Amino acid sequence: MLLCIDTGNTNTVFSIWDGERFLSHWRIATDHTRTADEYYVWLETLISLTHFELDIDRCIISSTVPRVVFNLRVLCNRYFNTRPLVVGKPDCLLPAEPQVDPGASAGPDRIVNAWAAYDRHGGDLIVVDFGTATTFDVAGADGAYIGGVIAPGVNLSLEALHMGAANLPHVDVTKPARAIGTNTVACIQSGIFWGYIGLVERIIRQIRDERGLEMKVIATGGLAPLFEQGTDVFDSVEDDLTVHGLRLIYDYNKEAGNV
């Protein structure tokens, strides 16, 4: 069985693939001080609650937080007796190399998302990921990551507004009943919701204009279903996109004899 680990700035997702389907998805707050032993105690407890016989012998990691990779490697080595693939490292082969500026690098999650979306929908598309940052990842005709856009994430913007304006409260993001709010909370919710709808639609239009293509748009991330309620720009909303891409990249390395 394959353990896919997707580490973002806020959360880390552990998913188990049995060769035919994902059996489980578990989420934990990303913390660079968490040890391999702590990861294992948490993960083993959750595994014990499932009705499956889980025998993990393969691992792949995508991490936007370099400081957590060491302990995740130790977890895989010590408890699953396997050397994990780490997307973005030289020993992890990619089906299509990122087309970025010389000396530059692309975030591993962005590479993985581009390839996963390509596998499901074909090339020349945009992946919008609502994470700590709101990212727009552009996949070329061959599925390679060819660039994109990074904007502040929804919750990050809310937190900055709360911290920077003494009289403004921290609020939950939701779709407001009306654009014109009649109290402070409703005003903030409207600004965030419709503001991000405008941001998403305008950036997508600009990317399409620059590429000269009518590109499909795939949304992922925890807030994607919420923002889908305010726009018809998304062709698909997929919460498992990154782990799907991790599984594909592991299979590619296996077929190439790299694992």
Q: What is the DSSP letter of 82?
A: -
Rounded Cα distance between 41 and 47, Å, is 10
What's the gap between Cα 243 and its chain centre? 8
CA atoms within 13 A on the CB side of 195: 17
Give 259's contacts (C-beta < 8 A, 6+ positions apart). 58, 85, 250, 253
Which of the following is catalytic: 6, 109, 129, 137?
109
Rg (C-alpha) for the chain, rounded Å, is 19
On whether the CB atoms of residues 227 and 208 are closer than 8 A, the answer is: no
Residue 138's closest CA among 127, 153, 122, 130? 127
Rounded Cα distance between 237 and 220, Å, is 6
Rounded Cα distance between 126 and 201, Å, is 12
Rounded Cα distance between 60 and 212, Å, is 36
Q: Catalytic residue at 57? A: no
Largest CA distance in the chain: 62
* Catalytic center residues: 109
